[in-house]
Every structure is written in C-alpha cells, then in structure tokens.
Structure 1
Amino acid sequence: MLEIAELSVCYGRVEAVRGVSMTVTPGRVTLVLGANGAGKTTTLRSVAGLHPPAGGRVVLEGQEIQTRPVHKVAQAGLVLVPEGRRVFGSLSVEENLQLGAFTAPKSEVAGGLERVYSMFPILRERRNGPAGLLSGGEQQMLAFGRAFISKPKYMLLDEPSMGLAPTMVETVLSSVRVFADEGIGVLMVEQNAEAGLEVADDVVAMTRGEVSFSGSVDTARDNSAVLLAFLGEGALTEHS
C-alpha cells in the first residue's frame, strides 16, 4: 500500500498542501479531482520526491520514502508520469523506452519492450522514429510505456488526457485500467472528470490544498464536496 499521511508542502512561505492524507491500493485506481490551484500536482510531485514535504509522511509498503531523492523513490517502485508527457523528442521511441528501464536488469529489458509494444502497437511501428514526431496521444502512450517498463508498484499520473483529441482520451485512459489490472496501484490527477471516473475505483477531492472528500466512485458522483472541488463554489448554487 502507498500511504500519504498528513502531507504538507510549501513554496517559500506559501503552504500549497495542508495535511493531505490518502491511500493507494495495488490493483486500484485512485482519481484526484480539484479545481486549478487545489494542490493536486504539488501532491504528486512531493510524493515522487521532486519537492520535499514540509511535514507528514509518505509510506511505500511499510517504508517511509518522503526524504529519499527522486531516483531512490523510482528504484523503490514508484514512478511519476508528469503533465505534458515530457518525452525526449530527438531520441527514438525505443531509446525513450530504454531510458525508462534504467532500474531493470539488462536481461529483462527486451521482455519489457515487448510488453509495452503489445500494449501500444503503434509504438512498435514507430520504434525507430524520433519521439518528437509522434502525435500527442502517441506521446502519452510513450510516456506511459516508459514508466511501465520499469515494472513499478505504483504509478502517479498527472493529467494524462490533457491536450488530447477526444478520440484519443478513451484510448489513453483505458490503458490506466490495464495498469491496475496488472496489479499496479495508480494515483491519477485528471481534469476530465467523467472520463476519469470511468476508469477509477476511488476518488479524492481537493479544495485549497486540503482533502474535502475521499471515497468510492459510486459515492463521489453526487457528493457536493466533489462538485465544489471540481467546479468551484458556484457549482453548488447552480445544481441546488
């Protein structure tokens, strides 16, 4: 289990995240919803080791990791797929994937590549071409594959559908469900709430740096705290 307990994150004197707690279970997708500035991305970056927390704990399968550098967090089995894909455009598709396999034994890299190509056949077709020529959806598949090839126990996904054509959103988010079915715990920030709810098991809503709701997808759909977190304060009067 991945446990985030009373996490606080500051930028200078500004407390961006205050006392955030949530858990991520292997084989389940936890969706984080919230308006812009709610602290969602900051939470993911802190859990991944990119921004040291001001307080609280991040516990990965019984081991506290909140003070570890990002590469040690990745070696422990937790990887972040950042917003905007961040692929290396001048490198080939396969070279990008090989970079993701840096924590895996060399003997397992070929098998890992085959697993990724089976999941995303278009990447096999483009394996020798530069990643920068891929479409937005294909680059997101590559970013997913680069994380998946490292055999993570948990994946943190930040806005995976952002900027994608509507026809690509379903394709990309359906792979999130595949990751969970492989036994990976997924913590996903996603602005496309309806699409995210289709693949999620659990929901956390954040408002102004704090958790305002935590529960199952079924209980989240009509919860006023979720509506407030995602749509803003005007949503409650509009839907009352």
Structure 2
Amino acid sequence: MMLSVNDLRLQRGGKAVLHGIDLQVPPGEVTALLGANGAGKSSTVMAIGGALPLTGGRIEVEGNALHGQRPERVRALGVAVVPEGHRVLGDLSVLDNLRAAATALPAARVADAVEQVLAVFPELRVKLALPARSLSGGQKQMVCIAQALIGKPRYLAIDELSLGLAPTVVKRLVEVVQQVAREGVGVLLIEQFTTVALAVSSRAYVLERGRMAFAGSSQELRSRPEILHSSYLAAA
C-alpha cells in the first residue's frame, strides 16, 4: 500500500498545468519530485493536500480516495503537507503554533504530541514562548515540519525543503527527513538542490511543463544528468 497519484490533471486560472501525471510514494522511503520552476511540482503537492481541485485523475492513500476531500480530511487519512514558504502563524508563539496543529487530537494527547515533535527539533524548546514571526527562516521551516508531524502522518509531502536556507540548516532538515522515513513514513520531497534530493531518495520523478519526463530510481537519474539538464533547459 502507498500514496498513489494516477493520471492527475489540474488547471489553475483556467490554464492546464498538469497533464495526466502518475507517481507513487511508498512507505518508509523518500521519493523526490524534481523539475524547473513552473513545471507543476507545487500544484501536485497542493492537489495531494486537498488545496486544489482536480480536473481529472485519482489520488489515493492505501486504498482511500484523497481527491475531492478537504485538507482536514486528507490529514485525517494520514497525509500531511508542508507548503512552500515557511508559513507559520506569526503572531502566535511557537508553542501555540504547535498546539494549533494538534487540534484534531484529543485534548489529553496534545501535550505528549508536542513533546514528541520537540524531541525531533530540540532547537525549538528555547523558542517556545517567542512569536513565530521572530524566528529565522530555518527555524520557521522546523516549526512547519513539526506541525506536519504532530498528527503522526503515514505520508509527508514537503514542498521546497531548503528554499532560502543556509547549508547547515539544510543538512539538519535532511537528517530529519531521513529519520522520518526510517520510522516508516513515506516522504515526497520537492527540493531545489537536485544533488541533495537524489542523495536521500530511492525513487525520483522529473516534471517538465506539467508532464512526466522521467520516472525511475534516483540512482538511474544520477547517472543520466542529461535528463535533468534537458528539463531545466526546456523551462528556460
């Protein structure tokens, strides 16, 4: 069983942006989704998370349909999304950001859930009382990933993990992604640094103008750099 996207078609602003793509995210592995800006990567993630309606195709997780579901139902079915842009509730404290992400849990479990994500990101403990807007970009991304993990998802989609972040922060976040996968979570990773994405993933997909240009092992894609080169040149 896995997270499956089949013949996904999608329009934004009346324009077709995805033209029948297929991908699969197995549990316990990192799957990379690569491509130039405008290739359709973020649209794919938003569709998986229930934030964009489909014009065709199916999205399923372990036999349950995600397409047509609201984001909260998608999360309840075990799929969490970290959108691009380090989006936090800036006026709330870091602790309240984490608590807000745990609203679907029974009240008695919230404190334990917060403790569990703080074990993943101990750096956030000293920031709990601060407004989230005061954090660095890397710390905000940690909060966003912690919010996604707090509901114990079986699948996690992360859009642009390292965008705008320092290499040391990227290394730290990659370690967390690998840890999460080792614990059995299937991770769909969108990452601007293709070398990073291919180093941590088992399978990779390359989107080019809303169509799948490559689907295969990350090892194969590493050995065929002309595929990525061609897709980025096509976008330019």
Q: TM-score range by the shorter chain?
A: over 0.9
| Structure 2 counterpart SS, 1:221 | helix
Q: For residues 27-65 of structure 1, what are the alpha-carbon distances to aligned partners after superposition, in whole Å with 9 as ceiling and x for unaligned?
A: 111111101110110111011111101000001110112
Cross-structure match for 2:201: 200
Question: How many correspondences in the alignment?
Answer: 234
CA shift at 1:234, angstroms?
9.6
Cross-structure match for 1:238: none
Cross-structure match for 2:158: 157
Q: AA paired with 1:219?
A: E
Tell me, yes or no, if the aligned pair for 1:8 and 1:56 is still in contact at 8 Å: yes
Alignment of 1:90-105 (within 5 A): 90-105=91-106
Cross-structure match for 2:131: 130
Cross-structure match for 1:215: 216
Gaps of 5+ in 1: 236-240
TM-score normalised over the length of structure 2: 0.95
CA shift at 1:225, angstroms?
2.3
| Structure 2 counterpart SS, 1:103 | coil
Tell me, yes or no, if the aligned pair for 2:31 and 2:201 is still in contact at 8 Å: yes
CA shift at 1:12, angstroms?
4.0
Q: For residues 65-105 of structure 1, what are the alpha-carbon distances to aligned partners after superposition, in whole Å with 9 as ceiling and x for unaligned?
A: 20111111111111110111110111111110111112222
After the TM superposition, list the runs of 4 or more consecutive aligned residues in structure 1 that deviate by more than 4 angstroms: none
**Over the residues paired in the alignment, what is the CA RMSD in angstroms?**
1.5
Q: For residues 4-25 of structure 1, what are the alpha-carbon distances to aligned partners after superposition, in whole Å with 9 as ceiling and x for unaligned?
A: 0000001243110011000001
Of 226, 229, 233, which residue of structure 1 is paired with 2:228? Answer: 226
Tell me, yes or no, if the aligned pair for 1:19 and 1:56 is still in contact at 8 Å: yes
CA distance in 1, matches of 2:112, 2:76: 19
Query: CA, structure 1 residues 234+96, in 2 after alignment: closer, same or farther (shift >3 Å)?
Result: closer
Shifted more, 145-154 versus 111-120: the winner is: 111-120
| Structure 1 counterpart SS, 2:223 | coil
CA distance in 2, matches of 1:98, 1:234: 41
Gaps of 5+ in 2: none
CA distance in 2, matches of 1:196, 1:78: 20
Tell me, yes or no, if the aligned pair for 2:208 and 2:235 is still in contact at 8 Å: no
TM-score normalised over the length of structure 1: 0.93
Cross-structure match for 1:76: 77
